[in-house]
Amino acid sequence: MNQVLVEICLRVRDIDATLDFYTELFDFEVASRREFPDDKFDLIYLNSPGSSVQIELTYNYDAEPYVIGNGFSHLGVTVNDLEEMHEICKASSYETGELRGLSGGTPSYFFVTDPDGYRIEVKRKH
């Protein structure tokens, strides 16, 4: 069998704020949007240029706040210019951590938090 990871699903509370985060701060594009008003949920699929893995945003109209489990850590994206992306994130309204390096080494990543509390690790592209 050939198995391929095709999507990661995130349940979100504010779809507009979440779409702004992924499409304005990062280069994600809305691939498709399916609305199910009778069942009170929407599905929005995001593409990241250069990747075949999609993020599925699930928006449940009447959901209570989600508790992000302690087993899930973060999503990861790579960028060509880590320092420039760090400055863009710091200038945004999103919680942005400092540049860090593994074991105190050369800075190679930082974290930024989306509107629902999911952390995105932004790493230097090798």
Spatial distance between the Cα atoms of 13 and 27, rounded to a whole number of angstroms: 21
User: At residue 79, what are phi and psi to the nearest 5 degrees?
Assistant: -135, 155
Determine whether 121 is an active site residue: yes
Q: Which of 7, 83, 98, 121 is catalytic?
A: 121
Instruction: Please give the structure tokens belonging to residue 107.
Output: 């800075």
**What own/partner pairs with CB < 8 Å and gap ≥ 24 does 57-61 have?**
57/9, 57/10, 57/12, 57/15, 57/18, 57/19, 57/22, 58/9, 58/10, 58/11, 58/12, 59/11, 59/12, 59/13, 59/15, 60/11
Residues with catalytic roles: 121
